[in-house]
Amino acid sequence: MSDRFDIAIVGAGVVGCAIARELSRYALRTVLIEARSDLGDGVSKGNSAVLSTGADTPFGTLECRLVARGHQRYLAEAPAMGLPVMPIGSLTVAWNETERERLEAMHKETVAAGFHSGQLVGADEIYRRVPHLSPGAVSAIWEPEEGIVDPFSTPYAYALDAVTNGVEFRSTCPVERAERRDGAWHLHTPKGEVVADTVINCGGLAGARIDAMAGYTDFVMRPRRGQFIVFDKSARPLLDVVLKPVPAPTYRGILMTPTVFGNILVGPTSEEIEDPDDWRVTREGLDTLVAAARKMLPRLLEHEVTATYCGIRPGTERPEYRIIPRPSDRWLTVGGIRSTGLSASLGIAEHVAGIVVGEMTKGERKLETTAVRVPSLAAGGDRPWLNGGADDAAYREIICHCEGITVGEVRDALASPLPPQSLKALKRRTRVMFGRCQGFFCGARVQALFDRLSKERPQ
């Protein structure tokens, strides 16, 4: 048996989930399908979680426009969904006269492109904001409108909003074959055939391969791996801004940033790889990150490392977004969305919906939609056991002491309309096992609770 939809979105990363949310505002039958067991489990799970203004993207490009629009929309819409936004600002620091000249040229170009919030500052202002920075900084661009967000809850909030407003979600549903017949696309998956009038390919690292199934070969994947180190929360007082180097022409460099969870993050590296599934953290990569920390913020190395991880960017042979509409075939590709995908997600969604609804299908905009709100996982956030949940014993029972996560929060995550399908997904939904011990103390108990509550959940 096959199901018929107006639109099928392939790929439930942050961009695919944002597009699903945008299309849920229309009277269209839409399905979001994901190859993995949970949403946000590919490219979207490994990034720096910095909300960019677009001022550090190539000016005049689609990417620049969509990042700027995404930043604007995220600030306006994320708080109502429970997503934390911390506008802590960023400093792009020059360490010598050559870098100072490049920085000044960057600032002139930025202002000419319409980004007026950034300011050139000298050493006194730099060290006022980052007292523990290594000596020798000469100038910087201070960008007060950049901030940090929750990279894990964002795609979840988008998807929950989409499902609440009528989009169907199917996980563990990789597209194995695509063919167009009888005026529709037939997507073959292990769970059966999905038939859709229009397809939006947000397949990330698999994007070119999925396009090829439909007969399109517009780009080639050139994946890039970026490795990160997460330092313990004891290091958080050392840094209260996003700290960036002056970027090279093809690489933005290694940044240092606080996280909304109370840690400090160093990364990413930038490595071309052949295998898009090579998620290894390497000795060479860690040495590069440690050297960057030693150069810019040496006291960071006095603190413990909580975790290391890597992300893989779905780059292509051209350094630009590959948003390719094919109105006559009713297939739209959203490819090449690299490190700016989180910041641009709502801008991309708006852009894509404008193409699809305007050129590929017809759908009336809904007069009303249902709002959703996800729990804030930010350090010091409005947690349920602080917000009227004290009468529920499950909110008084800590299961993860490193992060202060209660049994009630795990229970709530597993009772969601989009429950996590794996222990890793549960970690991203609650931050359980994300702390200093990385689950050494609580892992067995969390697994047992996950198994029990998953079985009790109505199927």
Residue 66 lies in a domain: no
CB 201 within 8 A of CB 10: yes
3-state secondary structure 177-243: EEEEECCEEEEEECCEEEEEEEEEECCHHHHHHHHHHCCCCCCCECCEEEEEEEECHHHHHHCCCEE
Residue 340 lies in a domain: yes
Residue 456: predicted pLDDT: 80
Same domain for 208 and 271, yes or no, is no
From 313, 331, 349, the end of a domain falls on: 313
Residue 52 lies in a domain: no
Residue 370 lies in a domain: no
From 288, 313, 338, the end of a domain falls on: 313
Same domain for 271 and 140, yes or no, is yes
Domain count of the fold of the chain:
3
CB 427 within 8 A of CB 418: no
Same domain for 307 and 289, yes or no, is yes
Closest by Cα among 337, 284, 291, 340 to 315: 337
Residues 6 or more apart from 317 whose CB is under 8 A from it? 219, 220, 222
CATH number at residue 197: 3.50.50.60
Same domain for 240 and 293, yes or no, is yes
User: How many Å apart are CA 255 and CA 297, to the nearest integer?
Assistant: 11
CB 398 within 8 A of CB 406: yes
Same domain for 95 and 133, yes or no, is yes
User: How many Å apart are CA 319 and CA 63, to the nearest integer?
Assistant: 10
Residue 258 lies in a domain: yes
Domain holding 442, by residue range, is 393-456
Residue 17: predicted pLDDT: 98
Question: Scanning the structure block, which residue is given the tokens 């639109």?
Answer: 7
Residue 388: predicted pLDDT: 58
Same domain for 192 and 232, yes or no, is no
Same domain for 227 and 352, yes or no, is no
Residue 389: predicted pLDDT: 63
Same domain for 131 and 106, yes or no, is yes
pLDDT tens for each residue of the chain, 459 residues long: 457 999 999 999 999 999 999 999 999 999 999 999 999 999 999 989 999 999 989 999 999 999 999 999 999 999 999 999 999 999 999 999 999 999 999 999 999 999 999 999 999 999 999 999 999 999 999 999 999 999 999 999 999 999 999 999 999 999 999 999 999 999 999 999 999 999 999 999 999 999 999 999 999 999 999 999 999 999 999 999 999 999 876 677 899 999 999 999 999 999 999 999 999 999 999 999 999 999 999 999 999 999 999 999 999 999 899 999 999 999 999 999 988 999 999 999 999 999 999 899 999 999 999 999 999 999 987 777 676 566 788 998 999 999 999 999 999 999 999 999 999 999 999 999 999 999 999 999 999 999 999 888 766
Residue 426 lies in a domain: yes
Residue 53 lies in a domain: no
Same domain for 290 and 226, yes or no, is yes
Same domain for 337 and 210, yes or no, is yes
Same domain for 161 and 215, yes or no, is yes
CA atoms within 13 A on the CB side of 87: 13
CATH number at residue 303: 3.30.9.10
Residue 382 lies in a domain: no
Same domain for 206 and 253, yes or no, is no
User: How many Å apart are CA 345 and CA 43, to the nearest integer?
Assistant: 13
